[in-house]
Structure 1
Amino acid sequence: MIKRNSLFICAIVAIFSCSFSNASGQQTLRQQIADIAGNISGKVGVYARVLETNDTVSFNRDEKFPMQSVYKFPVAMAMLKQVDAGKFRIDQPIKILKSDLTTDGHSPIREKYPHGNVSLTLRELLDYNIRESDGSACDILFKLMGGPAKVNAYVQGLGVKQINIATTEQAQVQRNEPATQYKNWSTPLAMTQLLEKFYTMPILSDSSRSYLLYLMSHSGPGAKRLKGLLPAGTVVAHKTGTSWTVEGITAAHNDIGVITLPNGNHIAVTVFVSDARATEEERDATIAKIAKAVWDAYAH
C-alpha cells in the first residue's frame, strides 16, 4: 500500500513539474517576444498556436491591427467556398474591364493589362490575389462575391468574430485617406483562429484547401518576414500585408501563416506590426525574430 501511494505521489509530482515547465517555457518565450517588440517604435501583436498540442504564446493578442493585404487570405477562402458550393467554377473565365482595375497600389494585372478588356480564369485571379498580392485581383473577387460585407459575413459565420472586412483594396490604398485602412482590422488571436480553422477543419473541400495552401506556400512577398530566419527549406504557408509609409510611419507590416516544424507539428502564427517608425529592414527583422523565437521553442 505504501509503495502504491508513493508511485501515485511521484506521478502527481511529475504532472505538476511538467505543467510548471511548460508554463515557465511559455513565459520565457513571451518575454523574448516582448523584448523583440520593445526594440521597434510601434505596436506589435502576436498569437501562435501549435496545432497538434495546443501550446500557445501571445502578445497583445486582443488588440486591433490593420490587416492590409492579409485580408486577401479570407477573401480567397470565401471565394473557394463558393466554388465548392457550385456558384463558380475554378476555371471559369472572368471578363475584366478597365474599371475593375485599382488605380493605385500593387497590381501586376493592371501593369500587364492597363486597359482591361481581358479574361482571366478564377484560378488565375486567386493566384494573383495570394501569390502576387494583387489589389485588382482582390477587388474583382470582392465584386464577384457581392462586396466586402459578404466576405466579412462568411468569416463571422465561421465563428471568428474579431476580424472586420469593411473596404475594398481600391479604398484602402488611397494615400490621401490613410484612416480607411484601419477599417479592415483583426486581432492576432482571431487571425490565428482563422488559420487554425482553415488548416484543421473541413470548411473547404480537399481540392480547395490544397490549392490555397499551395498558393500561400509559394507566395512571393515577405520572404524576410516569417521565413526570414527559419532554416532553408522550411515550409511556410503565409500571407503578408503592407501599407504605405507616410511621414515616416508605416500603418501595417504583417505576416500570418502556418509553419511546418521538423517534428511534423505545425504552428499557426500571426505577427502584426502597426504604426511603426522604422525602416522596412527593421520591420521585417522584428517579424523574423519573433518567428524564430517561436520556432526555437517548439521545434523539438
Structure 2
Amino acid sequence: MKFEFTGKPLLAALTSAAVLAGCASSAIVPQPRAPHAPPPQQQQQPVRSSTGSVTVPIGQPVRSELPAPRGTLDPGFRRPPAGLSDRINGLWRAFPGKTGIAIQRIDGEWEFSERGGDLFPQQSVSKLWVTMAVLDAVDQGRLRLDQMVRIGPDDLAVFHQPLAARVLAEGSVTMSVRDLIETAITHSDNLANDSLLRTVGGPDAVRRFIANKGLGSIRFGPGERLLQSGTAGLTWQQSYSRGRNFQAARAALPDATRKAAMDNYLANPVDGASPSAIASALTRLARGTLLSPESTEYLLGVMSRTKSGPRRLKGGLPPGWQFLHKTGTGQDYKGMTAGYNDIGIATAPDGTRYAIVVMLGNTTSPIPARMSLMQAVSGAVAEFHGR
C-alpha cells in the first residue's frame, strides 16, 4: 500500500464549504503562523504494502495550487491517522475476489488505496457521470433543469426501471430533466438514466465531459441496453426491455457463450473505472471544482437522498455522520457478481469530509459479507477520524 499527499488547495476546500453549507460540508480554518516560521514542506512517506497490492496515486504528483496551509492543523490533515491504512489493508487482504478501495480526505492532503489504479466495472456508479455531464450542459446554457423529455415504449431499458410501468400504462411519459436526475440517482432507474443520456447527446457527450474535466481512469460504456446485453452475450433487441424477456433470452444461451462474454467484460470492462480516479472526482465535486456552485449544491443534495445500498458504506457510519453516495451492482453468473460497488462522501460531525470508494470487481461472497466489508471500511474511517 502507498499513500500520497495530494497538495490540493485549502482555499478551494473553504470556498466549496461555503457553497455547500446546505450539504453539511465544511473545511478547516487555519490559524496564522508567526512570520518567521517557514511553511511546512510537502513530503511523501511509504506505507507498508503487501504482495499483490497495487496502488496508483491520483495521476502524477500534484503541484500545490496555493501556499500550504499554515498554523495549527488537526493531525489528520497531511497524513492518514496512524493505523487506518493498516486496518484497510487487512480488510482488503481478507476479502475474496478482486477488491478495490480508495479513501481520500477531501479537506486535506492525503489519499491511499488498495488496487487503486485497476479498472473495476462501475455498473450504476456511472449514472453519476451522466448526471454531471447533464449539469455541465446546464451550466453552459445548453440544457435546462426544467426542460421536458418525452419517454416512450421504444426508450425502455432493462433491469431496474420502475419508470417503465408508467410508460407502459400511459403510453408515454414526459418528465423534466430535474425529475429524471432525481429518479436516476436516488432510485437508480435505468430508464431515467438512459433518457438523460439521450438528452445530453449520448455516450460520446459523457466521455467528452470526463476527458475535458481530466477525471482520469474513468470509462463510460455504450448505455444500459448495450452494456447489459453485451455482458450477457446477447445482441440487444428492444423486446428484451419488456417483463423478463431479457432474463429468458440470457438463460437460453449456451453456457460457453455466457462465460466468454462475462470473462471478456471482467478482463476489460467497457464501463471500467479506478477507485483512485473516482475518489479524486468525488473530492473535486465536493470542493466545487467540477460544476458551478449551484449545480454542485444541487447534485450533492440529490446524492444525499439515495435510496439504494443503505447497508453498504452508509451502514458502517455512526450516528452524527452524513453520507452522500451512489451504488452499482452488476449481473450474476453462477453465484459470481460482476461489480458490487458503493462510492460516496462521508461527513463527520465536525464537518471533515472523506471520499470513500469500495468496488468488488468479481466476488462469490454472499451479499451480507459484501455489505459487512463496506461497513467495516467506512466504520474504520469514522473510528480513526481525529486520531
Question: How far 1:260 moved relative to its partner?
Answer: 0.4
Aligned residue for 1:114, secondary structure, equals helix
- Select the residue among 300, 306, 312 that pairs with 1:225: 312
Alpha-carbon distance between aligned partners in 1 of 2:352 and 2:272, rounded to the nearest angstrom: 29
Question: How far 1:172 moved relative to its partner?
Answer: 2.2
CA distance 1:185–1:243, change in 2 (3 Å): same
Q: Is the 2:104–2:355 Cα contact (8 Å) retained in structure 1? A: yes
CA distance 1:180–1:101, change in 2 (3 Å): farther
Question: How far 1:120 moved relative to its partner?
Answer: 0.7
Where does the alignment leave 5 or more consecutive residues of structure 2 unmatched? 1-36, 47-74, 234-261
Alpha-carbon distance between aligned partners in 2 of 1:42 and 1:28, rounded to the nearest angstrom: 24
- Select the residue among 162, 169, 174 that pairs with 1:108: 162
Question: How far 1:231 moved relative to its partner?
Answer: 1.3
Q: Share of identical aligned residues, percent?
A: 30
What is the letter of the counterpart of residue 144 of structure 1?
Answer: T
Q: Is the 1:30–1:59 Cα contact (8 Å) retained in structure 2? A: no
Alpha-carbon distance between aligned partners in 2 of 1:229 and 1:262, rounded to the nearest angstrom: 15
Deviates further, 249-258 or 54-63: 54-63
Aligned to 1:195: 282
Q: Is the 1:172–1:180 Cα contact (8 Å) retained in structure 2? A: no
Aligned to 1:8: none
Aligned to 1:176: 232
- Select the residue among 20, 44, 53 that pairs with 2:108: 53
Alpha-carbon distance between aligned partners in 2 of 1:249 and 1:269, rounded to the nearest angstrom: 24
Aligned residue for 2:338, secondary structure, equals strand
What is the letter of the counterpart of residue 185 of structure 2?
Answer: I
More strand per residue = 1
Aligned to 1:4: none
TM-score normalised to structure 1 length: 0.88
Aligned to 2:237: none
Aligned residue for 2:138, secondary structure, equals helix
Q: Over aligned residue pairs, what C-alpha RMSD do you find?
A: 2.6
What is the letter of the counterpart of residue 136 of structure 2?
Answer: K
Alpha-carbon distance between aligned partners in 2 of 1:245 and 1:27, rounded to the nearest angstrom: 38
Aligned residue for 2:373, secondary structure, equals helix
Question: How far 1:180 moved relative to its partner?
Answer: 4.9
CA distance 1:276–1:99, change in 2 (3 Å): same
Aligned to 2:134: 79
Q: Is the 1:29–1:57 Cα contact (8 Å) retained in structure 2? A: no
Aligned residue-pair number = 286
Question: How far 1:262 moved relative to its partner?
Answer: 1.9
Aligned residue for 1:218, secondary structure, equals coil
What is the letter of the counterpart of residue 94 of structure 1?
Answer: V
Question: How far 1:299 moved relative to its partner?
Answer: 4.4
Question: How far 1:72 moved relative to its partner?
Answer: 0.7
